[in-house]
Chain A
C-alpha cells in the first residue's frame, strides 16, 4: 500500500499569512493527489484534484503542486474561514490512502 506522510501535523498562522502543507508519498504516484478541507463535524470538501487542478468554485488563494513523491498545498492570504484540517489523498493505486491531516489554527 502507498503511504502518505503529511507535515506538519498542526500549524498556527494569522489571517493574511501564506501557508504551505506538504504530503510525501511512499512511492512515485505521478500527479495522483487530491486535497481536502474539513471543518469540525462536517464531511471533507474537495479543493484540488490531480495535484494542481482547482475544483470549480474553490477560491484561487488555494493552489497545489508537485509530482512523483512530493506535493504541496499552498494557501495565500489566509482568510478566517480557512482555519480547518487539511487532508491529502493518493489516487494512484488502491487503497487510496489519506495523509494523517494538518490542523491549521489561528495564531
Chain B
C-alpha cells in the first residue's frame, strides 16, 4: 500500500534552516510527482511547491521561491523540503503528498502524516 512517512517534529530558532523528509513506499517512486503543503495553526492549506521524481523539475509558489528547495532521492525514494531563514510565522504542520494525474488534472491522492515545525526564540 502507498505510504508517505515524514520525519519528526522540529523546533527551530528564527533565522535557522529546516529540512523535512518524506519517505515513500508502495509505488514506483519515479512515476509520480510530490508536493509540499503547509498548514499554520487553525488556518487553511497552503501549496508550497512540486517536484517530479522522474526529471527533478520543480515548481514553487512565488512566496517560497527564494527560501525553499524541494529535492528527491530516487535511491531512497525520499523527498525533502528545505527552508531557510525561518520566521515565527513559518510555524506550521508541513505535509508531503503524492501528486497523481488523471485526464490532465493533477491531484494529491496520498499524504504524509505531517511534520510539526515550531519556530521560536
A residues sitting closer than 8 Å to B (CB atoms) are 1, 31-32, 34, 36, 43-46, 49-50, 53, 55, 87, 89, 91, 94-101
- Among the 9-residue stretches B12-20, B40-48, B72-80, B83-91, the one with 4 or more Cβ atoms under 8 Å from chain A is B40-48
A95 touches B62 (CB 8 A): yes
Pick the contact of B107: A1, A87, A91, A101 (CB < 8 A). Answer: A91
Q: Is B44's CB under 8 angstroms from A50's CB? A: no
Residue in A closest to B46 when the chains form the complex, CB atoms = A98
Q: By the criterion CB–CB under 8 Å, are B103 and A50 in contact?
A: yes
Q: Least Cβ distance of A67 to chain B in Å?
A: 12
B105 in contact with A43 (CB, 8 Å): no
Instruction: With both chains docked as a complex, state the minimum distance between the C-beta of A98 and any C-beta of chain B, in angstroms.
Output: 4
Number of B residues whose C-beta is below 8 Å from A?
Answer: 24
- Establish whether residues B102 and A43, one from each chain, have CB atoms under 8 Å apart when the complex forms: no
Task: Provide the residues of chain A in CB contact with B97, threshold 8 Å.
Answer: 43
Contact B113–A43 (Cβ < 8 Å): yes
Q: Are B111 and A34 within 8 A (Cβ)?
A: no
A53 CA to B105 CA in the complex, in Å? Answer: 11
Residue from the list B37, B59, B63, B105 in contact with A91, Cβ < 8 A: B105
User: Contact: B44 with A32, CB < 8 Å?
Assistant: no
A71 CB to closest chain B CB (Å) equals 13
User: How far in angstroms is the closest Cβ of chain B from A84?
Assistant: 14
Q: Which of B77-121 contact A (CB under 8 A)?
A: 95, 97, 102-103, 105-109, 111-114
| Cα–Cα, bound, A35→B73 (Å) | 30
Q: Could you list 20 A-B pairs, sorted by A, with CB under 8 Å?
A: A43-B95, A43-B112, A44-B37, A44-B95, A46-B108, A49-B107, A50-B102, A50-B103, A91-B107, A94-B47, A94-B59, A95-B61, A95-B62, A96-B47, A96-B50, A96-B106, A98-B44, A98-B46, A101-B44, A101-B45
